[in-house]
Chain A
Amino acid sequence: MPNDIILSIKNLTVHYEVEGEVVEAVNNLTLDLKEGKVLGLVGETGAGKTTTALSILNLIPSPPGKIKSGEILLNGKNVLAMDIAELEQVRGKDVAMIFQDPMTSLNPVLTVADQIMESILIHETSSKEEARKRALEMLQTVGISPERADEYPHQFSGGMKQRVVIAIALACNSTLLLADEPTTALDVTIQAQVLDLMIKLKEQFSTSMIFITHDLGVVAQVCDEVAVMYAGRIVERGTLEEVFNHAKHPYTEGLFNSLPSIEDRTARLRPIPGLMPDPTKLPEGCSFAPRCSYAVAACSTTRQTEIGFSESHFALCSRYTEKDFALDRKELD
């Protein structure tokens, strides 16, 4: 394994077993993240993005969740084989997480300084004074006046709360940051502020990041690489430029066609017909085949093969085994 790879997920399969039914949330997912890079994990509700992120921390609630197979190598060590003591070292120290909803991810009865100090005291130092000093520094870093350190979460606005969450996540110099829709709950001008902050911090601390979002605009702004998920599988991955300008998978094309364009406002939208398949009854072949305008008979019966277009660009679509197969979407330069 090349040593600039900080995270390597191999053949991860996660199921939720509820009332006799099996929800196939993540299916045979393989993914590498290089040090200092931001990977955008894109997909719609139920695609398995959050389940993937929780697996990296070995935080899948069990029952009903079950990691059926696979390994997750973090700096070369398998997270899924760790005992509780080792995991506690990983969680919050090596890997930090930012959740979507800053209203529910903070403790309402602790001051923000106390909440930032908590992880510092667990992982970094036993001196309260030192921890507090570091907490105040972190507040400053994320653009909150240290004078507000002893206030409670309800005294902050949504954007400010998310800054506090980011401060907690960054407090222990984590090597990997998992951001699960960190700006989705925020207004667009506040989102711009928080994204701006995250980009600056990434450059300052050279943190690697997995950025989960359904907003392709946000991806274009912050990510270096993109993985598109559909029904628990990564259907396309590549650099930002490869996926956005040379999309190969029909689902990726469908996502772009669904977006209203700012430039051509009257153009009719071309939504993907139908719905994501029921994750308890995934089709035998390609999960996207029932909605895919390029699907042929073989697509719904056989597993798709991953086709490589460059060293970094892959798509899970067997149609590319045919010569001359191409999507309708124009490639951009």
Chain B
Amino acid sequence: MEQPILAVRNLRKYFKTPHGLLHAVDDISFTINRGKTLGIVGESGCGKSTTGRCILRLIEPTTGEIWFDGEDVAQLNPRQLRAKRLDMQIIFQDPFSSLNPRNTVMQTIAEGVRIQKAYRTETEIQKRVLELMDIVGLAERLYNSYPHELDGGRRQRIGIARALAVNPKIIICDEPVSALDVSIQAQILNLLKDLQTELGLTYVFITHNLAVVNHISDEVLVMYLGQNVEQAPTEELFNNPKHPYTQSLFSAIPIPKVGANKERIIIQGEVSSPINPPVGCRFAPRCPYRMEICTRQDPALTEVTSGHLVACHLYTREESSEA
């Protein structure tokens, strides 16, 4: 079997709050193969961005292993980590706040180019910056522009060029198109796909937009309150969602077609608090199929068909009754 480029094991991130421990990420595990895209979906506060940041150790994980290219990123000392981060980059949601407003396009992208020390003279650096601008579709004349002079789509292109500047192997894309209008969103999604093919990049694609995740991912992981509730190859997941949360999430997507929105499962209630969560399935309070066992025992993530993992007592019931 192919060696995965990234293997996250039992990742946990708890934040201390005055009211108790906030379980932002609670035992997440997954692997990604080189050149593939793993989509992580979920609603606000489910821990998807925290997961992305923990992989790069922009947030220190509480416990867990992050195996990247044969090394556990979680164990690296600061110097090793800095070197490792050349292989791992991130693109942020908001292209308005993730760029330094006082740096020009050139300065922003050149920062990454300089770090590598592969380009020695200013002319070489400049040449590389122009190359990167060309790759992401930024016109050469924007070289000396400041972020405020550019629209959201172009700013996001700068963010992508900056990430590419260090020749990374993997890019964490944290809601990279959520702040953009649909016509611009489509431009950026096409660009990310093309770059993946050309440069063999691996993506962790974090989003709340299910149509986007369906379009870009090879495999999808659905998070609810810090936990992995379902994971499967994209087509399998969309054709055959098993977890009641995934089903209601998919059914809530408004489809841009006349008459396509007639029957839907609308789940009641809201996400419960991630602070000191009680034992049992975290979706149970909203779940239409709740059983007695659901509030008593944590459902384990179980492979129900090949490659399709679900954490729900509906699918483990038979085995547990036999046992």
Query: Which residues of A from 60 to 88 have beta carbons under 8 Å from B?
Result: none
> B249 at the A/B interface (Cβ < 8 Å)?
yes
Taken together as a complex, chains A and B put the C-alpha atoms of A190 and B184 apart, in Å, by: 26
| Chain B residues whose CB sits within 8 angstroms of the CB of A245 once the complex forms | 258
Whether B182 is near chain A, meaning CB under 8 Å from some CB there, is yes
Please determine whether B258 and A271 come into contact, CB atoms closer than 8 angstroms: no
Q: Does B291 contact A (CB under 8 A)?
A: no
B58 at the interface (CB under 8 A from A): no
Chain A, interface SS category: helix
Chain B CB within 8 A of A216 CB: yes
Residues of B within 8 A of A220 (CB): 254-258, 260-261
- Whether B258 contacts A265 by the Cβ 8 Å rule is no
B210 at the interface (CB under 8 A from A): yes
With a CB–CB cut-off of 8 A, which chain B residues contact A241?
Answer: 258
Contact (Cβ within 8 A) A260 B212: yes
Contact with A along B264-289 (1 / 0, CB 8 A): 10111010000000000000000000
Indicate if the CB atoms of B214 and A188 lie closer than 8 Å. no
Check if B253 sits within 8 Å of A260, measured CB to CB.
Answer: no
**A172 vs B260: C-alpha distance when bound (angstroms):** 33
Contacts of A256 in B (CB 8 A): 256
Which residues from 205 to 239 on chain A have a C-beta closer than 8 Å to any C-beta of chain B? 214-221
Q: Does A272 contact B (CB under 8 A)?
A: yes
Q: Is B302 interfacial (CB 8 A cutoff)?
A: no
B contact residues around A271 at 8 Å (CB):
183-187, 190
Query: Do A193 and B266 touch across chains, with their CB atoms under 8 A apart?
Result: yes
> Given the complex of chains A and B, what is the CA–CA distance between A245 and B181 in angstroms?
22
Q: How many A-B residue pairs have CB under 8 A?
A: 117
Verify B153–A275 contact, CB threshold 8 A: yes
**Number of B residues contacting the other chain (C-beta, 8 Å)?**
41
B63 to A: closest C-beta gap in Å: 28
Q: Evaluate whether A214 and B270 lie within 8 angstroms (CB atoms) in the complex, with A262-B255, A275-B153 already known.
A: no
Please measure, in the bound complex, the distance between the C-alpha atom of A151 and the C-alpha atom of B270, giving whole angstroms: 18
B270 touches A195 (CB 8 A): no
B181 to A214, Cβ gap below 8 A?
A: yes
Complex CA gap A196/B183 in Å reads 27
Contact with B along A249-270 (1 / 0, CB 8 A): 0000011111111100110111
Residue pair B268, A258 in contact (C-beta under 8 Å): no
* Interface assignment of B98: CB less than 8 Å from any CB of chain A: no
Query: 1/0 per residue A38-75: CB within 8 Å of B?
Result: 00000011000000000000000000000000000000
A217 touches B256 (CB 8 A): yes
A260 to chain B, nearest CB (A): 4
Interface check B235, CB cutoff 8 A: yes
Contact A188 B186 (CB under 8 A): no
Residue B234 at the A interface, CB < 8 A?
yes
> Which of B43, B44, B214 contacts A262, CB < 8 Å?
B214
Cross-chain contact B44 with A187 (CB below 8 angstroms): yes
- Give every chain B residue within 8 A of A254 (Cβ-Cβ): 183
| Neighbouring A residues of B255 by C-beta, 8 Å | 217, 220, 262
Give, as a whole number of angstroms, the nearest-CB distance from B58 to chain A.
24
Report A-chain residues with C-beta under 8 Å of the C-beta of B248: 189
A157 at the binding interface (Cβ < 8 Å): yes
- A266–chain B nearest beta-carbon distance, Å: 8
CA distance A191 to B254 in the complex (A): 9
Bound together, the chains give a CA A262 to CA B210 distance in angstroms of 9
Whether, in the assembled complex, B238 has its beta carbon less than 8 Å from a beta carbon of chain A, the answer is yes
Decide if A244 is an interface residue (CB 8 Å cutoff): yes
Residues on A with beta carbons closer than 8 Å to the beta carbon of B212:
260
Q: 1/0 per position for B56-81, CB-CB distance to A under 8 A?
A: 00000000000000000000000000
Chain A residues closer than 8 Å to B249, beta-carbon distance: 188-189
Assess the B151–A270 pair: CB atoms within 8 A: no
A241 to B186, CA, bound (A): 24
- A193-B268, A265-B234 known; A216 vs B256 contact (CB < 8 Å): yes
Interface residue? A192 (CB, 8 A): yes
Which of A159, A193, A215 is most buried by chain B, counting CB atoms within 10 A of its CB? Answer: A193
Whether B115 sits at the interface, judged by CB under 8 Å, is: no
A93–B35 alpha-carbon span in the complex (Å) = 58
Chain B positions 189-237 with a Cβ under 8 Å from a chain A Cβ: 189-190, 193, 208, 210-212, 214-216, 234-235
A196 touches B190 (CB 8 A): no
A312, chain B: closest CB distance, angstroms: 15
In the complex, the chain B residue whose C-beta lies closest to that of A216 is B256
Residues of A within 8 A of B267 (CB): 189
| Cβ-closest chain A residue relative to B213 | A260
Contact of B238 among A192, A218, A255, A265 (CB under 8 A): A265
Neighbouring A residues of B211 by C-beta, 8 Å? 259-262
CB of B189 within 8 A of CB of A260, answer yes
Q: Known: A220-B256, A244-B256, A262-B255. Contact between A269 and B186, CB under 8 A?
A: yes
Q: Is B252 an interface residue (CB 8 A)?
A: yes
Q: How far is the CB of B248 from chain A (nearest CB, A)?
A: 6
- The smallest beta-carbon distance between A190 and chain B, in angstroms, is 7
Tell me, yes or no, whether A289 is within 8 Å of chain B by CB: no
Residues of B within 8 A of A157 (CB): 270
Interface residues of A in 259-292 (CB under 8 A from B): 259-262, 265-266, 268-273, 275
- A326 to B190 CA separation, bound complex (whole angstroms): 26
A262 to B249, CA, bound (A): 14
Residues of A within 8 A of B186 (CB): 257-260, 269-272
Which residues of chain B are near A96, meaning CB under 8 Å?
none
Is there a chain B Cβ closer than 8 Å to A240's Cβ? yes
Kindly list 6 other residue pairs between chains A and B, CB separation below 8 angstroms, not including A268-B193, A272-B183.
Answer: A44-B181, A196-B266, A220-B261, A241-B258, A259-B182, A269-B215
Seen from chain A, the residues whose Cβ lies within 8 Å of a Cβ on chain B are 44-45, 157, 159-160, 187-193, 195-196, 214-221, 240-241, 244-245, 254-262, 265-266, 268-273, 275, 332
CB pairs A–B below 8 angstroms (12 shown) = A189-B252, A195-B254, A196-B266, A217-B256, A220-B261, A240-B258, A257-B186, A258-B186, A271-B184, A271-B185, A271-B186, A275-B184
Q: What 7 A-B pairs come out closest when comparing CB atoms?
A: A217-B254, A271-B186, A260-B215, A216-B256, A192-B252, A258-B186, A187-B43
